[in-house]
Amino acid sequence: MNCIIVDDEPLAREAIQMLIAQTDNLDLMGSFNSSDAATKFLLDNTVDLIFLDIQMPGINGIEFAKTISKETFVIFTTAFSEFATDSYEVDAIDYLIKPVKLERFQKGVDKAQTYYKLFNADYTNNNIENITDDYFFVKADRKMFKVYFNDIHFIEGLKDYVVMHTESQKVITAMNIKTIHDQLPKNMFVRVSKSYIINIKQIESVDNNTVYIGKNEIPIGNIYRDFFFNEFVTKKILSR
């Protein structure tokens, strides 16, 4: 994957550049100190992945991310954890807190590379079919996959696709996250942000901002928080 760095701090750009140099399958095309400079570069160049700071003079990283191509992935790099929820509202692949450690950096890159390969497969707009009480079929990668509701841990919406994270695999298909949410059992699945639907049976713990499912941390969006806690957390606890 080719990539660029966008960060107004010279030392931060140098740090990310060193991490890229230690990571396989990344080709650094450029390093920019502002969103404006990166925008000019993107007019004439196709970029697979952007390492993007959030707090910058002029257009900040969140606003800049809204303007880039749907074919370009974003990994945010920032010193501030409070922007994490906002980052997933713009389909960010990952959110790294500075100073970024190599192991954590490579984990984010591995996710980007996995999705890059998946998204470059031949997908068409699909729908889930043959819905029963226990499972449904979905077309993905020229095959029909049988997916049991109980096996789904969570569903991630990214760009124009949804990724179903199941017990044993990731199933990706070209579909709007709202479309699949409308067809799932409402007593089992709840949307907790613009980008995530979770299976409440798979929840291990929650705090005010995050749902924990296995090793996955699912951000809770501000506009979904009250409904999730009122209908699926507090009510369930009180009804026991």
226 exposure class (CB count in 10 Å sphere: 0-12, 13-18, 19+): exposed
Distance CA 227, CA 223 (A): 8
Please, are residues 84 and 57 in contact by the beta-carbon 8 Å criterion?
Answer: no
Q: Which two tokens stand for residue 89?
A: 């509202």
Distance CA 149, CA 181 (A): 12
pLDDT band at 84 (very low <50, low <70, confident <90, very high): low
Residue 167 CB neighbour total at 10 angstroms: 11
- Give residue 123's pLDDT: 55
Distance CA 195, CA 170 (A): 16
In the predicted model, is pLDDT for residue 238 greater than 60? no
Q: Give per-residue pLDDT as tens, 7-20.
A: 999 999 999 999 99
- The crossing angle, in degrees rounded to 10, of helices 10-21 and 102-119 is 70
Of residues 2 and 170, which shows the higher confidence score?
A: 2
- Give residue 209's pLDDT: 87
Distance CA 131, CA 135 (A): 6
> Which amino acid makes up residue 235?
K
In the predicted model, is pLDDT for residue 240 greater than 50? no
In the predicted model, is pLDDT for residue 1 greater than 70? yes
Q: Give per-residue pLDDT as tens, 107-163.
A: 999 989 988 877 776 555 566 777 888 888 887 767 788 889 999 999 998 877 888
- Give residue 44's pLDDT: 94
Distance CA 225, CA 229 (A): 6
- Give residue 71's pLDDT: 85
In the predicted model, is pLDDT for residue 191 greater than 90? yes
Angle 170-70-213 from CA coordinates, rounded to 5° = 30
Q: Which two tokens stand for residue 47?
A: 């970029």
DSSP SS3 for 10: helix
Please, are residues 100 and 108 in contact by the beta-carbon 8 Å criterion?
Answer: no
Q: Give per-residue pLDDT as tens, 25-73.
A: 999 999 999 999 999 999 999 999 999 999 998 899 999 999 998 889 9
Q: Give per-residue pLDDT as tens, 164-175.
A: 999 888 888 888
Task: Give residue for tokens 């970024």.
Answer: 100
- Give residue 46's pLDDT: 94
